[in-house]
Amino acid sequence: MSKPIQLYYWPTPNGWKISIALEEMDLPYDVNLVDIGAGQQFEPDFLRLSPNNRMPAIIDPNGPDGEPISVFESGAILQYLARKTGLFYGQNERDRVAVDQWLMWQMGGVGPMAGQAHHFLKYAPAMTPPHDLPYAKNRYRAETGRLYSVLNHQLETHEFVAGNFFSIADMALWPWVSLWRGQQQTLDDKPNLDRWLQTIKSRPAVQVGRAVDAERRSNLQSDKKAQELLFKQR
């Protein structure tokens, strides 16, 4: 019997990508919590897995050559798991190209821009001293909205992001887009995006993956210790 994958995780959008994928792929896994608010991502043991001090990361005891392999970066983990299982990566090379381009779009666009929108709209104004920066708030709110308009347009003619099949690109995007309210976005003019969000949310594996250790998710607007660790100036 295969040993479970070790998932190094905290309940954030990037963490949810992998817990959702593992549930969708029906892969056994153990959760190893990396409390980013307590600074556990800076501990030497974790840095050996993820040199950029970011979770998630995995160790697969059953690697490609039968030996353990560790993988960091959420997009790379999704690609690895899709190749390992042959699932959620389309049926042919054309499908895989479509999946990869939207996965890269999430990693290079939606994730960073939505993350900065969260930071400047919610967390920076709550810091001590406050950093209420209208230019930054408007910049990242607007860019996140532009990206969601691109996604809405894509979903006008496709059931899912990369085509008419559910893929790891959807798994990468949904955790971030599902937090649209905190990014001060609207779905009133994005009916296709709204439909897609509800479709993904209804999947049982997505619900289970999203709920993994959800009770540990803290409110960074009031957690001053976590703010100091996560947002400290160097």
Convert the pLDDT of each residue in 30-56 to its tens digit: 999 999 989 999 999 999 999 999 999
Q: Which residues of the chain form CATH 1.20.1050.10? A: 93-202
- Entry field: residues in the chain: 234
Whole-angstrom distance, CA of residue 187 vs CA of residue 182: 13
Low-confidence residues of the chain: pLDDT under 70: 1, 219-234
- Please report the pLDDT score of residue 234 as a whole number: 43
- Please report the pLDDT score of residue 224 as a whole number: 59
Phi, psi at 189, each rounded to 5°: -105, 15
Torsion of CA 78, 9, 15, 58, to 10 degrees: -10
The residue to which tokens 């003019």 are assigned: 189
- Please report the pLDDT score of residue 228 as a whole number: 62
Cβ count within 10 A of residue 91: 10
Cis ω before 129 (30° cut-off from 0)? yes
Q: What does the block give as tokens for 163?
A: 């085509």
Q: What is the CATH number of domain 5-87?
A: 3.40.30.10
What's the CATH architecture for 93-202? Answer: Up-down Bundle (1.20)
Residue closest to 88 by CA, chosen among 152, 27, 148, 149:
27
What is the C-alpha R_g of the chain? 18
Q: Which residues of the chain form CATH 3.40.30.10? A: 5-87
How much is the pTM? 0.93
- Please report the pLDDT score of residue 127 as a whole number: 86
Tell me the three state secondary structure of residue 178: coil
- Please report the pLDDT score of residue 220 as a whole number: 61
- Please report the pLDDT score of residue 128 as a whole number: 84
Q: Report the relative pairing of strands 29-33 and 5-9 from DSSP bridges.
A: parallel
